[in-house]
Amino acid sequence: MIRNAVVVVVCALVAAVSGQAKADPLSKREASAALQRAVDFFRTDVSASGAYLWRYSADLSKQEGENLASKTTAWVQPPGTPTVGGAFLFAYEATDDDKYLQAARETAHALVKGQLRSGGWDYRIEFDKKPRLKYAYRFDGGGEGARNVTTLDDDTTQSALRYLMRVDRALDFKDKKVHACIDYALAALLQVQYPNGAWPQRFSEPSDPAKHPVLNARYPKTWSRTHPKKDYRSFYTFNDDTIADTIATMFEAERIYEDHRYGDAAKQAGDFIILAQMPEPQPAWAQQYDAEMSPAWARRFEPASVTGGESQGVIRTLMSIYRETGDRKFLEPIPRALKYLKASELPNGQLARFYELKTNRPLYFTKKYELTYKDDDMPTHYGFKVSSRVTRLQSEYDKLLRADPASLKTRGVKPSYKMSPSLAKQAEQVVNALDKRGAWVETGRLRAYEDGDNVQVIETTTFIANVQTLSKFIAASK
């Protein structure tokens, strides 16, 4: 009996202690230690000279950005180097721990090494000496004939520049390499802006202004129903938020450096958006325009058309410009665009990505990339139908009309974080998921590898999200 009683008591004590252990909340010290381990692992084991890709195999033997990459390659296009660096900077701003600022600075210096002589960045940066010579980097790059094409596609140059500007501010503008890099990039963006306020998708040098007259959007007399295979890099481009991201970058530059040249460039781009609104019967926007301001083809599945996709992004951009400027001329195009888009919704409530010029018939492509009105044989890599956000955009527009314009401008106030049960739970899950190395490993896909399906990977997007969660938790625990 005594023996059994002892067993019962011991079991009860173990259960009580175990229950107490489970109930103990995550401490600030534990979260701080986990954050430091994760950042140290990324800097020491994952990075290429302080820069990053998109994903890695769990054992770090394979890696990729949007495409296959070597161990000495980094990606600029989000969620690559600037986005990872942004996580370091986020950690510094939330925790005031200088080691995260040093991590952000290291990543900024990696981007400096990837800046092209044309002023911006390509999708990728090569750090190994031989492949570096294929690119016209400002520092130890190749000579004549080396690739010198800055891309504004997919928020590539813009994300790098916004990140560098934020690091510059955090370093009190004292890092000469970072500051000079930014000056050079901003000067390039001002130089390549077209007279009408637009920017090209990509550039290597400024264009001849005489070849780009300031015109209103127009319907072409004729347009090809097959891909013309023309170089579209110089076109005025809304696709992939090219102009929207550049506008946001310019407003950010104005806020950080208090230089109105950058805000003026953003407003001039807003004037272009007004010019680019198509006349009736389709008062929305095209993905891209040629120098005559007619909708134009880009890739073989992006025809000359009015777009139900990018037009919604353009409306959001106009509203963001209004918030920064208080000038109602940037709201004026919105009502008729929303009315048109609402009337163009498909029976299922979506919008077609492309609408035929003037007829407004939805356009699609077959898997052989033949233009068609039918939607039963579409390629799966591209969204030929998109969600309609018209109702939400209408609501946002109505709120702007009622608001005091002075209350809308971005102020750049440092955010504060409050503890909540959901934040505490998320932080605990993040800490528990961290492996012994300091890595977050998950099941995913390495798209550039034939055997890359359903494998264990390290995703930069997961790293970024988890660093932000832990940083918020630490800040809220102060």
What is the per-residue pLDDT across 30-53, written as a single tens digit (0 to 9) for each? Answer: 999 999 999 999 999 999 999 999
d(CA 320, CA 310): 15
Structure tokens at 227: 């891909």
Number of helices and strands in the chain (H, E): 14, 16
**Cross-strand bridge partners of residue 147:** 135
Residues whose CB is less than 8 angstroms from the CB of residue 289 and which lie 6 or more positions away in sequence, other chains included? 198, 217, 235, 236, 276, 295, 296
Is the predicted pLDDT of residue 18 greater than 50, yes or no? no
d(CA 165, CA 171): 10
| The predicted structure's pLDDT at residue 23 | 55
Confidence of residue 397 (pLDDT cuts 50, 70, 90): very high
d(CA 165, CA 168): 5
Mean pLDDT for the chain?
95
Work out the percent of the chain whose per-residue pLDDT is above 70: 95
Is the predicted pLDDT of residue 12 greater than 50, yes or no? no
| The predicted structure's pLDDT at residue 295 | 98
- Closest by Cα among 389, 402, 282, 254 to 331: 402
Burial state string for 439-474 with b = 16 or more CB within 10 A and e = fewer than 16: bbbeebebebeeebeeeebbbbebbbbbbbbbbbbb
Average of pLDDT values for 396-417? 88
Residues whose CB is less than 8 angstroms from the CB of residue 271 and which lie 6 or more positions away in sequence, other chains included? 196, 197
Confidence of residue 363 (pLDDT cuts 50, 70, 90): very high
Give the amino acid at 464.
I
Sign of CA dihedral 46, 241, 296, 151: negative
d(CA 282, CA 307): 10
| The predicted structure's pLDDT at residue 15 | 42
Average of pLDDT values for 325-340? 98
- Closest by Cα among 291, 283, 287, 279 to 304: 287
d(CA 357, CA 220): 9
Confidence of residue 411 (pLDDT cuts 50, 70, 90): confident
- Closest by Cα among 158, 169, 111, 155 to 262: 158
Q: Can you give the length of the chain in residues?
A: 478
Across 72-149, the runs of DSSP E, i.e. the strands, are 73-75, 124-126
Average of pLDDT values for 122-144? 96
| The predicted structure's pLDDT at residue 11 | 44
221-278 pLDDT tens trace: 999 999 999 999 999 999 999 999 999 999 999 999 999 999 999 999 999 999 999 9
Across 194-322, the runs of DSSP E, i.e. the strands, are 202-203, 236-237, 288-289, 306-307
Give the amino acid at 362.
P
436-477 pLDDT tens trace: 999 999 999 999 999 999 999 999 999 999 999 999 999 999
Burial class (CB in 10 A: 0-12, 13-18, 19+), 114: buried
Burial class (CB in 10 A: 0-12, 13-18, 19+), 296: buried
Neighbours of 116 (CB within 10 A): 25
Average of pLDDT values for 1-14? 42
Collapsed DSSP state (helix, strand, coil) of residue 305: coil
| The predicted structure's pLDDT at residue 423 | 98
Compute the radius of gyration of the chain from its Cα atoms: 26
| The predicted structure's pLDDT at residue 185 | 99
Is the predicted pLDDT of residue 207 greater than 50, yes or no? yes
- Closest by Cα among 34, 76, 23, 35 to 54: 76
Is the predicted pLDDT of residue 281 greater than 80, yes or no? yes
Sorted by where each starts, the structural domains of the chain and their CATH numbers stand as 193-414 (1.50.10.20)
d(CA 117, CA 215): 31
Across 188-339, the runs of DSSP E, i.e. the strands, are 202-203, 236-237, 288-289, 306-307
